[in-house]
């Protein structure tokens, strides 16, 4: 008899500075001096590729501040430019970046992503975001961010236009017919009848088209989405082909995934075709004590003042004067919060379930901002990953290593083989594109 099939995990590596723990850059062995070098990021991608991960992922931001720069590394190199270089030093792993629908235009985004898909031979993914902070808007000629609902209305139109642009120049239209015809007609490079002018005129964009890059190898680069708000979930249900999520614990993961699957069914889509991948922070040790010691060693390097500044951003109010050894002050309900709702909802859940002091909350948020954290041996972490897969909390995880490259090397060398031994993760790539890694079909082209 054959063994019953078990659900396999999808795994992404979320690359962020020298690690997602706010104090990772302060460790003597950190790679903080290498953050402006392509080789550093390429090495991280190669480690993830050695582990047969689906993709590496970069978030992006459009602002900086003096205090943020003092507190630790955020953005150093623009991610799309960086992915272009990384694609030449990797072979199979997917390459995903955030592009903001608030600050780009559809034509610009479509052209960049289509070009990258050709450069990488079909390994590009696009994480659609709407951006959040007034400081970002002020770098783009705006006084403040548009209202939340307006940002998502713009994003909906943005995505629709980008998809149309990718389809506007079919590759089969390229003839490269060099020969002059008997009637004197010159050779023809492209059959122009197959190209489409969009002539789109919408509420937010006017785009003529066609795109000046042929249809990408994947048809459409894979569309990721990470919204936790009502509008974000609706956009994900309609458009996303893979979803990044914030889930503090298994019940939160089950609630989010179940809700997204219900919304996808209502849109006439198969929810089984879309992988939901919560963020995951791991501390791996040969024993539980060793793993906890690794977590503690980073937490002890966390400066309270800068951690309070970050908390202020997360909760949308000044936390600088909060008493660190007192309980967390009462916070407004989720419906009254105007910032990034996914992380704020996680903070509310931590406060409600754990009743932490401010200091304890800072430690909980130090790596990954409240995403799921697993501390233990390779076996115990594999047990927890299996539980999330089997109980409907996740289809995989977006790994947020507290320290880079150390934490991702430990995961690839110790946890991944355990998952493979259990039949929970691939031992080799089946295809060459990001779509193939995620089990997605190439979208049908224009008729």
Tokens 């985004």 label which residue? 109
In a domain, 331, yes or no: no
pLDDT of the residue at 1: 37
DSSP label at residue 392:
T
pTM equals: 0.91
Beta-sheet pairing, 396-399 with 10-14: parallel
Mean pLDDT in residue range 165-175: 96
pLDDT of the residue at 32: 95
* 160-174, 183-197, 309-323: which is most confident: 160-174
Task: List pLDDT tens digits, range 208-255.
Answer: 999 999 999 999 999 999 878 888 899 999 999 999 998 989 999 999
In a domain, 422, yes or no: yes
Which region among 49-63, 80-94, 357-371, 407-421 has the lowest average model confidence (pLDDT)? 357-371
In a domain, 240, yes or no: yes
Helices (H), 90-202: 106-119, 134-137, 148-166
pLDDT at 3 over 80: no
Structure tokens at 267: 């849109």
Please state, for a pLDDT cut of 90, what percent of the chain lies above it.
75
In a domain, 14, yes or no: yes
pLDDT of the residue at 365: 87
Structure tokens at 45: 């991608």
pLDDT of the residue at 156: 94
Q: When comparing pLDDT for 426 and 340, which is higher?
A: 426
> How far apart, in whole angstroms, are the C-alpha atoms of residue 23 and residue 104?
32
Task: Say if CB 368 and CB 20 are below 8 A apart.
Answer: yes
DSSP label at residue 248:
S
The kind and range of the H/E element at 48 are helix 38-50
| Residue 48: CB atoms within 10 Å | 27
> How far apart, in whole angstroms, are the C-alpha atoms of residue 108 and residue 106?
6
Domain count of the fold of the chain: 1
pLDDT of the residue at 299: 87
Task: List pLDDT tens digits, range 38-76.
Answer: 999 999 999 999 999 999 999 998 888 888 888 788 778
pLDDT at 2 over 60: no
Among the listed residues 339, 393, 391, the one whose alpha carbon sits nearest the alpha carbon of residue 371: 393
Average pLDDT for the chain: 93
pLDDT of the residue at 304: 87
pLDDT band at 353 (very low <50, low <70, confident <90, very high): confident
Q: How many CA atoms lie within 13 A of 39 on its CB side?
A: 3
Q: Using DSSP, state whether 207 is helix, strand or coil.
A: strand
In a domain, 156, yes or no: no
Domain span at residue 132 reads: 10-141+213-302+366-438
pLDDT at 437 over 90: yes
Structure tokens at 71: 């507190």
pLDDT at 96 over 70: yes
Task: List pLDDT tens digits, range 390-407.
Answer: 999 999 999 999 999 999
In a domain, 127, yes or no: yes
Report the CATH number at residue 275: 3.20.20.30
In a domain, 391, yes or no: yes
> How far apart, in whole angstroms, are the C-alpha atoms of residue 45 and residue 55?
8
pLDDT band at 133 (very low <50, low <70, confident <90, very high): confident
Structure tokens at 361: 């909350």
In a domain, 91, yes or no: yes
> How far apart, in whole angstroms, are the C-alpha atoms of residue 52 and residue 92?
8
Task: Say if CB 446 and CB 280 are below 8 A apart.
Answer: no
> How far apart, in whole angstroms, are the C-alpha atoms of residue 41 and residue 38?
6
């Amino acid at each position: 008899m054959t063994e019953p099939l078990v659900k396999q995990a999808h795994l992404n590596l979320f690359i962020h500075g020298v690690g997602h723990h706010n104090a990772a850059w302060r460790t003597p062995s950190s790679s903080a001096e290498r953050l402006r070098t392509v080789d550093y990021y390429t090495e991280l991608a190669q480690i993830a590729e050695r582990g047969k991960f689906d993709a590496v992922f970069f978030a992006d931001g459009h602002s900086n501040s003096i205090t943020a720069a003092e507190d630790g590394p955020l953005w150093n190199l623009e991610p799309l430019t960086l992915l272009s270089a990384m694609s030449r030093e990797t072979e199979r792993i997917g390459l995903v970046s955030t592009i903001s629908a608030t600050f780009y235009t559809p034509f610009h985004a479509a052209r960049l992503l289509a070009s990258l898909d050709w450069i990488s031979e079909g390994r590009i993914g696009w994480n659609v975001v709407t951006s959040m902070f007034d400081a970002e808007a002020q770098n783009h000629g705006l006084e403040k961010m548009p209202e939340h609902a307006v940002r998502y209305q713009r994003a909906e139109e943005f995505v629709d236009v980008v998809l149309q642009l990718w389809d506007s120049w079919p590759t089969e239209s390229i003839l490269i017919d060099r020969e002059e015809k008997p009637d004197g007609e010159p050779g023809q490079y492209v059959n122009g009848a197959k190209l489409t002018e969009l002539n789109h005129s919408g509420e937010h964009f006017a785009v003529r088209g066609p795109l000046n890059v042929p249809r990408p190898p994947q048809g459409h680069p894979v569309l990721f989405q990470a919204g936790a708000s009502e509008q974000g979930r609706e956009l994900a249900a309609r458009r996303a082909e893979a979803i990044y999520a914030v889930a503090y614990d298994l019940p939160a993961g089950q609630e989010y995934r179940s809700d997204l699957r219900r919304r996808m069914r209502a849109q006439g889509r198969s929810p089984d075709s879309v992988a939901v991948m919560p963020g995951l922070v791991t501390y791996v040790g040969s024993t539980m004590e060793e793993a906890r010691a690794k977590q503690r060693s980073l937490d002890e390097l966390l400066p309270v003042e800068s951690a309070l500044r970050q908390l202020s951003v997360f909760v949308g109010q000044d936390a600088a004067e909060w008493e660190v050894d007192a309980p967390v002050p009462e916070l407004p309900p989720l419906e009254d919060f105007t910032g990034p709702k996914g992380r704020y909802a996680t903070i509310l859940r931590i406060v409600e379930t754990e009743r932490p002091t401010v200091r304890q909350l800072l430690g909980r948020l130090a790596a990954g901002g409240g995403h799921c954290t697993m501390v233990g041996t390779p076996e115990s972490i594999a047990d927890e990953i299996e539980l999330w897969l089997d109980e409907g909390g996740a289809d995989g995880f977006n790994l947020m290593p507290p320290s880079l490259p150390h934490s991702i090397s430990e995961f690839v060398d110790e946890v991944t083989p355990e998952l493979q031994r259990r039949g929970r993760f691939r031992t080799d790539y089946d295809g060459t594109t990001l779509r193939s890694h995620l089990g997605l079909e190439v979208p049908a082209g224009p008729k």
